Structure 1
Amino acid sequence: MTTQLAAPLSIVVPMFNEQENVSPLVERVHDALADYTGAWELLLVDDGSSDATVARIREAREAFGSHVRPIPLTRNFGQTAAMQAGIDLARGEVIVTMDGDLQNDPIDIPRLVDRLLREDLDLVAGWRRDRKDNWLRKVPSWLANRLIRRLTGVNLHDYGCSMKVFRAEVIKGVRLYGEMHRFIPAWLATQTAPSRIAEEVVTHHPRTAGTSKYGLSRTFRVIIDLISVYFFMRFSARPAHFFGLLGTGFGLLGGLGMFYLLIEKILGHDIGDRPLLLVSILFILIGVQMLTTGVLSEMLSRTYYESRDVRTYHLPARFDLAGENDAFRMPSAGKRGNEADGGVSAHGDRA
């Protein structure tokens, strides 16, 4: 498929023990981009493979040219770190990420890139509507997608699809850690408006070579990572609100319990051996601890933002900083505050 709009393009593919898929992948990428009118490069990131993946990547570079860039990591750091390495080293204005197991189809790349440029978006995420996986992978993924949509407010059907197209200037402003690659749209929503994030149905193939690196254990890691994403999206610049809310809730529950026991004591009932007494004291202590943690977190947050001159907002990358070369409007000679135009004087007095 030929795109009418094109930009320098970087395709990032993390690979781990995919020696059988390297050559077919590179061939399919070249076939898919045969009519692409812009410059492009293919970054194959080897995530510490124990097979011949690195050797196959180097052979592909020799066969196809220097635009095929091998990026060998020193050991297995995980898919997120491998993806981050490729994004850091990408030189294109548009960055595509995809899996190296041939389940994503490179034929979709021009269509996704064209939509990103045509609609002036920051991310077009792939949606595997007809996913070719077994139910052990589909069911946890379906549940995770619903949970992520509910908590992050970014309305996508398929967060786990690695086929995504980004504007480089936006994705390079996001740092990925742990297993956070599946939450890239949510992280991106901290940099740009959700209206600049879209999804597109993409082709999905069953795995024909190599072995899957996914299992049910990832479901639990998704839940833990989701808590972190939710916190950073909502409370990174105001952690005291998060811990304060928890502390206030626990404190109120403990206070209500103690008030009830006080009434019971006044009425002459014995409360010394009642479990509610210990639970109420525990809730009050947890509330105090949460509140103090919130204060300390607020201090750390402000120290971080002020010491590193980190902004709590983001301007569009193509935002024209109007005023850099423009002069202030000055009062006309002999007219204080530019009275003729109803202006404001230097002292802020309204004319």
Structure 2
Amino acid sequence: MAFISVVIPLYDEIDNILPLCTALSHALGDADAEVIIVDDGSRDGSAAALDREAEARGARFKVIHLQRNFGQTAAMQAGIDAARGEVIVTLDADLQNDPEDILPLVRHLLEKNLDVVAGWRKDRQDDLLLRRIPSRLANRLICHLTGIYLHDYGCTLKAYRASVIKGVRLYGEMHRFVPAWLSTLTYTDRIVEVPVRHHPRRAGQSKYGITRTLRVLVDLLFVKFFLGYSQRPMHFFGVIGLALSSIGSIMLLYLLVDKFGYGAAISGRPMLIAGVLFFLAGLQFLNTGIVGEMLSRIYHESQDKKTYVVRYTIHLDPPA
């Protein structure tokens, strides 16, 4: 089996640290793996507890302490950046995901030659009204907007091929949308989900609330735009601009014919103001599209960003 990196973002989970590390050691057994726990600025003593566990359990367990609380997505990105494995598995620290599911997910990914295997909490052990129903509605909305149809976007337990997951950068609350991000780098049929176990939270408190849901919805709008138009913003803004400017032009042309053809007064008519506004708004959208195209090109060229990803090569010498 390939070398595995298990990445776990953690924030204020002191009561779960010992059982988490024990469960991970048991689940991974003799597998060639490392465990990277990212302490996201915990203030409850978790940092010291993690250090003790890392010292006691040897080099397999690694701990990264962030300067302050940057959020789950940033903590996950820090772990992914530090991971050395060919397969990277992400996992929550609250023990609601079962570490025993890690190796089956990895085996499924390798045997089926996939890029992502996402966990599906089919028998979810959460509050029906506060967690499960909002989660189902959010999952359907995400599927509809992204075109990646998974039952459970919110499940952190996922296995990724490292060469693919390291090709994206995560911001905001974007850890939820990783399968959607990866659809820009691989085929959607290489992203699958399998049922995994889910347990009630045994200790600590959930970090999720209504404000987080609102942030996720805002991030979803950005994801939709990025997936469709990140490399062609003119296609988005240009279509809107052409539509608005065309409506404005038709209005103004009608008024022009009405004035010079039939001698009608147009100075006080609402259509004149509306036509000018539509026309100017259309020009503004077109200008925004042009600026977006320029920024996109500058970004890719300055960062040496490629618009493609190589899976592997055979007998191909590197360029001189």
TM-score, L = length of structure 2: 0.92
In the other structure, the counterpart of 1:280 is: 275
Distance 1:65 1:278 in 2: 73
Alignment-mate amino acid for residue 190 of structure 2: R
> By how many angstroms is 1:53 displaced?
0.7
Distance 2:226 2:205 in 1: 34
In the other structure, the counterpart of 1:48 is: 41
**Secondary structure in structure 2 of the residue aligned to 1:187:** helix
> By how many angstroms is 1:253 displaced?
3.1
Percent identity (aligned): 54
**Secondary structure in structure 2 of the residue aligned to 1:86:** helix
> By how many angstroms is 1:255 displaced?
3.1
Distance 1:113 1:233 in 2: 27
Moved over 6 A (4+): none
Q: Does structure 2 conserve the Cα–Cα contact (< 8 Å) formed by 1:144 and 1:222?
A: no
> By how many angstroms is 1:250 displaced?
2.1
In the other structure, the counterpart of 1:296 is: 291
> By how many angstroms is 1:304 displaced?
2.4
Distance 2:160 2:112 in 1: 13
> By how many angstroms is 1:280 displaced?
3.1
Comparing 299-308 and 167-176, the one that deviates more: 299-308
In the other structure, the counterpart of 1:254 is: 248
> By how many angstroms is 1:216 displaced?
1.4
- Is 1:108 matched with 2:108? no
Distance 1:90 1:221 in 2: 28
In the other structure, the counterpart of 2:22 is: 27
> By how many angstroms is 1:28 displaced?
1.0
> By how many angstroms is 1:183 displaced?
0.6
Change (3 A) 1:275 1:15: farther
Change (3 A) 1:137 1:253: farther
Distance 2:273 2:136 in 1: 41
Alignment-mate amino acid for residue 146 of structure 1: R
Q: Deviations over 1:86-142 (max 9, x none)?
A: 000111111110111111111111110110010011110011112122222223322
| RMSD between aligned residues | 1.9
TM-score, L = length of structure 1: 0.84
Change (3 A) 1:269 1:208: farther
Equivalences, count: 316
Distance 1:260 1:28 in 2: 74
Distance 2:130 2:279 in 1: 43
Comparing 102-111 and 212-221, the one that deviates more: 212-221
Change (3 A) 1:217 1:259: farther
Distance 2:202 2:256 in 1: 69
Distance 1:223 1:246 in 2: 23
In the other structure, the counterpart of 2:191 is: 197
> By how many angstroms is 1:271 displaced?
4.9
In the other structure, the counterpart of 2:55 is: 62
In the other structure, the counterpart of 1:181 is: 175
> By how many angstroms is 1:268 displaced?
6.5
5+ residue gaps in structure 1?
A: 1-5, 326-351
- Higher relative helix content: 2
Change (3 A) 1:272 1:301: same
- Is 1:234 matched with 2:234? no
> By how many angstroms is 1:262 displaced?
5.0
5+ residue gaps in structure 2?
A: none
Q: Deviations over 1:150-189 (max 9, x none)?
A: 2211111111110000111111111111111001001111
